[in-house]
Chain A
Amino acid sequence: MELFNLFIAFLIPGIIGYGGGPGSITIIAEQVEKYNFMDSNSFNELIGICNALPGPIATKLAGAVGYEVYGITGLLVSILSIMLPSILAILLLLKILTKNKDNPKVKRLSKYLMPIIIVLFIKILIKFFWQSFPIELGQPFSFKEIIHPTLLLIFAIISFIKLKLHPLIVICTAMAYGFLITLI
């Protein structure tokens, strides 16, 4: 019964979870409350843990709630349920497009969509830039909070543009740096 509840509960954020992670978190929170999977304190702790891990937040959060409720089986059921609707929808949509790929109207889609994607990505770029500095506007901040992100930005620019290193190496180095500065 609990497994079935998990499956049904996480179908909803998979269907109406627009706008990426943050939007989905709210819906998942509502579902957790509705089905009484856990109290809101434990749920907030789970959000903290999921933020420490790589990968999409909605999937991790669903998995974590599923794990708390019904162990590893619960985790698998929840992850499957939250992913299923959108995967089926996108595959269907692309199948229709591929069938008509010789239609000149389909051929020009990517050209028409390009400016939107540029705008969306510039918006994300600005967001990431501000998130790089762990300070809040109007709040006092220390020299340390500015100098480390700035050094990392310069490091990343040199690594990618001059040295052409693989992202995996650059990200691991940055994480090691983040680890080392906590020791000082």
Chain B
Amino acid sequence: MILKIFMAFFRIGLIGYGGGPASMPLVKKEFVDNLQIMTDDDLIELTALCNMLPGPMITKVAAVIGYNNGKWLGVFMAVLGLLLPSTVLLIVLMMFFYEATKSSTTIKSMINAVMPVVTVMMGQLVWGFIIKAKKSFNDFLLIILIIFYWVLINILNINVVFVILGTLAFAFLQPVKESEVK
């Protein structure tokens, strides 16, 4: 299993253009759909917690998936898999192609071409989450919540960390309903 996780993160590291969040659709595909070692709920929780803490998001995701499936060796292998492609490429570029890379329009054009693909992947992920959320909330409440958080984060510019902390506090302070105790 650790080897499978290593390979999955290797693939994610190889094609992870566009920063941490751009890799999340890949994480869902590899671990929720293919390996099935986590659920959509786990992924949502993990995304929120990773957003709350500093540092690059995808390395935290790798550490958690690694730890849950193989303790510290798992952490090491998952992070190694993730970083290996970009680090090796980085060393090669810095050693041999420093001048060529600096101003290459070819590389720029290749990366630009990846963005539309990443956009569609992100769209699929968001759509999947919305479908899932519709099972937990009724449509009206969901729209209200999305507008509410949109205003908080994008219009009032409240730091996401505080929004997540506030929501966590709310979730803990609300009394437990009988239907939630199974």
Contact = CB atoms under 8 A, between A and B. Distances in A.
A168 B164 CA distance: 32
Nearest to B145: A115
B146 A115 contact: yes
Interface in B25-49: 25-26, 29, 41-42, 44-49
Interface string B119-157: 111111110011011001100001001101110011000
Nearest to B166: A116
A128 B118 contact: yes
Contacts, number: 299
B24 A109 contact: no
Q: B interface, how many residues as a size bin? A: 35 or more
A104 B178 CA distance: 10
Chain B interface mostly: helix
Contacts of A163: none
Interface string A159-184: 01100000110111011011101100
Nearest to A82: B55
A52 B87 contact: no
A50 B107 CA distance: 11
B44 A91 contact: no
Contacts of A29: none
Chain A interface mostly: helix
Contacts of A90: 49-50, 53, 60, 63-64
Nearest to B106: A182
A132 interface: yes
Contacts of B93: 49, 52-53
Nearest to A83: B59
A153 B126 CA distance: 16
Contacts of A64: 90, 94
B45 A93 contact: no
9 contacts: A68-B94, A86-B53, A87-B60, A110-B42, A117-B129, A119-B150, A125-B119, A156-B120, A182-B109
Interface of B: 11, 13-22, 24-26, 29, 41-42, 44-51, 53-60, 63-64, 67, 75, 79, 82-83, 85-87, 89-91, 93-94, 98, 101-126, 129-130, 132-133, 136-137, 142, 145-146, 148-150, 153-154, 159-161, 163-164, 167-168, 170-172, 174, 176, 180-181
